[in-house]
A and B are shown apart, each in its own frame.
Chain A
């Protein structure tokens, strides 16, 4: 599904990613962990197509296509979804209009007709209920005045409506209380199937108690320095990142 080879990127003249290698197969959940400043969010943004992040080396193949040659909107329509660490507020643009436009953009790219207005409303209400979101989300501006937890739920709602092939969730667990974390995890788990994959970018292993990863990677200094199964996350939690980083030096 996703093959990242030797990916290096620079932000504002500073090298942040220095040769990331990662392969994600359909049906898998990968967790990317690492200390602050290790390049986790940059990796997520580069994969989603943020233009002010300059790729200096390497390649990314997504579903057999050269991902780096695609614009952000093309990546989204091809089935890549980024759940933002800090979802932006857009007053004046209705939350539901955006969702409908996003869904229709994807359908159009796939040669499908636009979604019927009634069917869309049924779909959105069902997903909102699943995510335990209040009706007021239908009328509000995108993330406008949402609490941190509401914003994250909204990201997962968008993901559930768009049904991406690959979801990259950037610190979706940060700032969530335990109830919200459970709801968000339930949302992510509901998307798991043999044809889809999820990449969880997270600082803590807490989320991984609810969304069990197939592989865990540690990103440090802009590259993956250690990979393992879910037990690696527990070990990191117990021994801290210094343990991996120290081992790296040795």
Chain B
């Protein structure tokens, strides 16, 4: 057993039992048995966790040192245009979560819900398969202290922001934020999860979000990784979709040192549809590993996955996606498009779209390309007098524009654009373009 595993086990033993104990116990035993994923696990081939495995982790406290500077975080949504901002510090739900009243939402901490309606809560802890993708979710289930439960009850137009703050008192701490989003049939909302760091130390963040969309529910969901350069973030998102529900998901990686992001979508009933967009920016020596698995489990389901990855300096970006069409899921319609752009000779992008089809009469398309800036486009811009850096940045920006233009929250889009431009060469000139 490695140091990390031992330290997680020690945390587990020190933990007082609560209403979720049987589920937690089961998850912890599975986690200990399986151990941390290694490069021999299929979806972890590109991400080396050996140095992480050698560390001992303490539980991060649900509070920060000093005061949180609201301007330190990239402000994604204008104050007048959001329903609320829920601040989660190292995974701890806000103290007043249970008393928060926001039109169209019912909000509580997961602890309160487990006391109130334990049966309802169990729905959001489905049995975890052996897939190596889910290893860290087991640990999250065992160790999450408290999380946030959000029920969407109406059609809400203004976005709700969840600001995840990672803030450690020292090195080698770990937090396990947990969010449950439960969209009632026919409801509609936009939720932005924004991950940032506060202070010198960023705990290992092992976050998990579980989304259940009821019949005909609509959700636009963002997760924006904007943590500091040294931060390690393992984030898992699971979405279960009922009949006719529509989900538009954006995964934006703009920060962090090591980011592992997974998306598991289950299109469980006919008419369910998913649009997933990933914008992955490799900068400095950042490592971004993104894995999507979309399961078409019912007839007439639809999925669209678009990923745009750029990698500069000595960064590495990985995007793997897989579409599984289960037996009987006839007339499933899926498309996967992954494009990567290398900006430096020392950067690397790996992408692999996969299909696993067990049904007839399906429409599944996929494509993946990785390349450098098109020399014809570059020469065209240079021949018009633009300097090289501006021309390159402009082309990079244009490459990512597909994903950006799909965002309906315009303030979030501008903030993301601005943060993105800040990571491109010659950002000042490019800003003047906007």
Contact = CB atoms under 8 A, between A and B. Distances in A.
A binds B: yes
A57 interface: no
Given A52-B375, A105-B387, A73 B382 contact: yes
A93 B398 contact: yes
Contacts of A84: 380, 383
Interface string B388-411: 101100110111111000000000
Interface in A69-111: 71-73, 75-77, 81-82, 84, 87-88, 90-93, 97-98, 101-102, 105-106, 109
Interface size class of A (residues with CB under 8 A): 20 to 34
A76 B382 contact: yes
A162 B391 CA distance: 17
B33 interface: no
Interface size class of B (residues with CB under 8 A): 20 to 34
B402 A88 contact: no
Contacts of B391: 73
Interface string B186-229: 00000000000000000000000000000000000000000000
A67 interface: no
B95 interface: no
B384 A76 contact: yes
A219 interface: no
A71 B382 contact: yes
Nearest to B375: A52
A247 to B, nearest CB: 36
Interface centre among B383, B386, B397, B399 (most CB of A within 10 A): B383
Nearest to A101: B386
A88 B401 contact: no
Contacts of B374: 88
Interface of A: 48-52, 71-73, 75-77, 81-82, 84, 87-88, 90-93, 97-98, 101-102, 105-106, 109, 141-142, 158, 162
Given A75-B383, A77-B385, A162-B385, 19 more contacts: A51-B379, A52-B375, A72-B383, A76-B382, A81-B383, A82-B383, A84-B380, A87-B380, A88-B376, A88-B380, A90-B398, A93-B381, A98-B381, A98-B386, A101-B384, A102-B384, A102-B386, A105-B386, A141-B398
Nearest 3 A/B pairs, CB to CB = A92-B398, A76-B385, A92-B401
